[in-house]
């Protein structure tokens, strides 16, 4: 299991070197909007999926070859990072080895009711949990969570973590058209955010192919309307990734492309910025890999995306799919 990937083009963080300690796709949620596809192991049981020493070794090897190869380190998995049981130990070790690199954890926030999970996150420089709804029915429709979960417990976990954590505390609100974009529901989310008083509210919507076909994000105009509901909470709309001029090498470009899109679909512009190569060089490599059957290219919301395989479709009438469920 390879635990380091990227740098990935992040709309929030710049060139983010990802740390993935979860077997894909293991999660406490099965979100309809997830860019990593449908959950195959729905669970709340924490495990040691990979040894801490392997992760540290992978990081060491990467920075030996790329001393300035990332803006931040980010726990961002094809699954939920807090399901990794020794997360606190790993964060502590990384901060000792790479104190100058910000360490960020992107989490769905579902396990923050567990004191051990909260304790393990305390040394991170920034933690970004999600809060997308205040209603249990919308919570289940949007996230399709493990059956043991409910939105009241999620909110209490967020409040407990906010009291204990001293780093940068951001909250992401992922907004999906026709599910949680009603003004009344967003007002209820705002009330909870006022209690949490985060350093920043990150307003997000679907910009990459989602797990469930037909699920859509909001237009730029609608996102501006939503942002007005969250005025006074230091809220901002997350924009698309913008990279600098391409100055990098095309050495091993095919391998780097495969590594990048194996985690999530990427647009060609994102990919060129992340891999630091001219778009023309990238297009040549992509064309060759498409001919070889290694990649697929498709359009979503008018943008060309590339992935290992096409976007997954969810065709069952009840909106669920066959998956392994753990307790």
d(CA 207, CA 204) in angstroms, rounded, equals 9
Q: pLDDT tens for residues 263-286? A: 677 777 777 766 667 878 888 888
> What single string gives the DSSP state of each residue in 145-188?
--TT--HHHHHHHHHHHHHH--SEEEEEEEE-TTTT--HHHHHH
| pLDDT tens digits, 102-146 | 999 999 999 999 999 999 999 999 999 999 999 999 999 999 999
- pLDDT tens-digit profile of 199-237? 999 999 998 888 898 899 999 999 999 999 999 999 999
| Domain assignments of the chain as residue spans, ordered by start | 4-242, 248-312
Q: Is the pLDDT higher at 256 or at 20?
A: 20
Q: What is the pLDDT of residues 236-245, one digit of tens each?
A: 998 544 444 4
**Is CATH 3.40.50.300 correct for 4-242?**
no
Q: How many CB atoms are closer than 10 A to CB 244?
A: 9
Give pLDDT tens digits for 92-102. 999 999 999 99
Distance CA 82, CA 76 (A): 10
CATH number belonging to the domain at 248-312, selected among 3.90.1150.10, 3.40.50.1110, 1.10.10.10, 1.10.10.520: 1.10.10.10
CB 55 within 8 A of CB 21: yes
What is the per-residue pLDDT for 258?
78
Lowest average pLDDT, out of 7-16, 252-261, 310-319, goes to: 310-319
Share of the chain above pLDDT 70, in %: 86
Neighbours of 86 (CB within 10 A): 19
Cα separation values, 23 from 42, 107, 192, 227, Å: 12, 15, 32, 35
3-class secondary-structure state, position 129? coil
What integer pLDDT is reported at residue 324 of this predicted model? 44
**Tens of pLDDT, residues 142-188:** 999 999 999 999 999 999 999 999 999 999 999 999 999 999 999 99
Q: Looking at the predicted structure, is the pLDDT value of residue 304 above 50?
A: yes
In whole angstroms, give the CA distance from residue 236 to residue 224.
9
pLDDT bracket for residue 314 (50, 70, 90): very low
């Amino acid at each position: 299991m390879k635990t380091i990937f990227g740098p990935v083009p992040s709309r929030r963080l710049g060139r983010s070197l990802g740390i993935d300690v979860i077997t894909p796709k293991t999660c406490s949620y099965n979100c309809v909007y997830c860019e990593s596809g449908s959950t195959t192991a729905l669970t709340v049981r924490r495990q040691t999926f990979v040894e801490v020493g392997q992760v540290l070794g992978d990081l060491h090897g990467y920075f030996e070859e790329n001393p300035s190869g990332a803006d931040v380190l980010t726990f961002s998995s094809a699954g939920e990072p807090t399901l990794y049981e020794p997360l606190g130990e790993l964060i502590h070790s990384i901060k000792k080895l790479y104190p100058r690199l910000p360490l960020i954890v992107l989490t769905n926030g579902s396990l923050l009711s567990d004191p051990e999970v909260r304790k393990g996150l305390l040394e991170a420089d920034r933690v970004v949990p999600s809060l997308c709804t205040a209603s249990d029915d919308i919570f289940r429709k949007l996230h399709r969570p493990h059956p043991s979960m409910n939105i009241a417990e999620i909110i209490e976990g967020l409040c407990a973590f906010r009291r204990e954590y001293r780093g940068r505390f951001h909250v992401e609100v992922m907004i999906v058209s026709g599910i949680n974009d009603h003004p009344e529901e967003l007002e209820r989310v705002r009330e909870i955010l006022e209690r949490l008083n985060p350093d920043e509210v990150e307003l997000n919507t679907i910009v990459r192919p989602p797990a469930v076909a037909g699920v859509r994000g909001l237009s730029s105009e609608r996102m501006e309307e939503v942002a007005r509901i969250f005025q006074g909470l230091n809220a901002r709309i997350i924009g698309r990734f913008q990279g600098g001029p391409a100055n990098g090498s095309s050495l091993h470009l095919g391998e780097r492309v495969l590594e990048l899109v194996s985690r999530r679909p990427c647009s060609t512009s994102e990919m060129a910025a992340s891999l630091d190569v001219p778009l023309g060089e990238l297009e040549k490599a992509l064309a060759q890999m498409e001919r070889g059957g290694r990649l697929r290219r498709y359009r979503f919301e008018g943008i060309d995306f590339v992935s290992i395989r096409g976007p997954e479709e969810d065709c069952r009438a009840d909106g669920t799919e066959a998956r392994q469920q753990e307790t």
